[in-house]
Chain A
C-alpha cells in the first residue's frame, strides 16, 4: 500500500531564507507524487507533481521538489520564502499507477510559518 510521511508538522522560517518541507513515501511501484498547498479556509492548490519524468520537478511560485528513489523522498524546497508562502502543505501519493481515477493519499500536512 502507498503512504506518505511528512516529517515535520510545523516549520518556521524567516522571510528571504530557504524553505525545506520533508516528505518520505512508501510505494510498491513507481509512484506519482504531488505537493498541494492550502491557505487558511481555502481549497487545495497543486504546486507540482512527479509522474516518472524528470526527477527534479519545478512548480509554481518558485517551489521545486526532487524525487529520490534511493531515499524514497520527495522534499519540497524554495530558495527564498515569502510571507505569502505561509500555509499548510500536503505531500500526496497516488494510490495506483498514477491514473487520474486512482485515490490520493494525503500526508498529515506541514504548517509553514514565515516570520518577517
Chain B
C-alpha cells in the first residue's frame, strides 16, 4: 500500500514558540490531506482538510491562526502550531487518500507527538 510519512515523530518545544510538522505522501500525489488530533486514550478529531494550492478548510472550533496549514506541493502538507501552549500537547496525525486504488483508500502517517513545556 501507499506510504504517508510524518516528521518529526516526537518534538518538544517551549511555550510560546512555534513548531512545524510535515506530512508527506511518499509514492503518490495527494491533492488533499487531512490533519487529526488525538488526545490520550481518545478517538481522532479532524482538525482541517489541507488542499494543494488553496486554503485549508478548518473544522468548527479549530483556530486557523493557531494551526497553520500549508499544502505547497502534491506530496507535502505542513501543520504549524503557533505560539504553542501546554494544552496543545497532543498526538497529531495526517492522512492522505490514494486515488490510484479502488475505493480511494486513505492512508495515515505514523503520527507526531508534540509536548509543549
Binding site for B on A (CB under 8 A): 32, 34, 36, 41-46, 49, 51, 90, 98-101, 103-104, 106-109
Q: Are B34 and A104 in contact (CB under 8 A)?
A: yes
Which of B95, B108, B110: most chain A CB closer than 10 A? B108
Q: Is B98 close to A, CB under 8 A?
A: yes
Give the 4 A-B CB pairs with smallest separation, nearest first: A100-B97, A100-B104, A51-B103, A43-B110
Q: Are B104 and A103 in contact (CB under 8 A)?
A: no
Q: Are A98 and B49 in contact (CB under 8 A)?
A: no
Q: A45 CA to B109 CA in the complex, in Å?
A: 9
Query: A104 contacts which of B46, B91, B98 (Cβ < 8 Å)?
Result: B46
In the complex, residue of chain B having the shortest beta-carbon distance to the beta carbon of A32: B103
* Interface contacts beyond A32-B103, A44-B108, A108-B43: sample of 17 additional A-B pairs, CB < 8 Å, sorted by A: A36-B108, A41-B91, A42-B111, A43-B6, A45-B108, A46-B1, A46-B105, A46-B107, A51-B102, A100-B99, A100-B105, A101-B32, A103-B34, A104-B46, A104-B95, A108-B42, A109-B43
Q: Are A90 and B108 in contact (CB under 8 A)?
A: no
Q: A42 CA to B91 CA in the complex, in Å?
A: 9
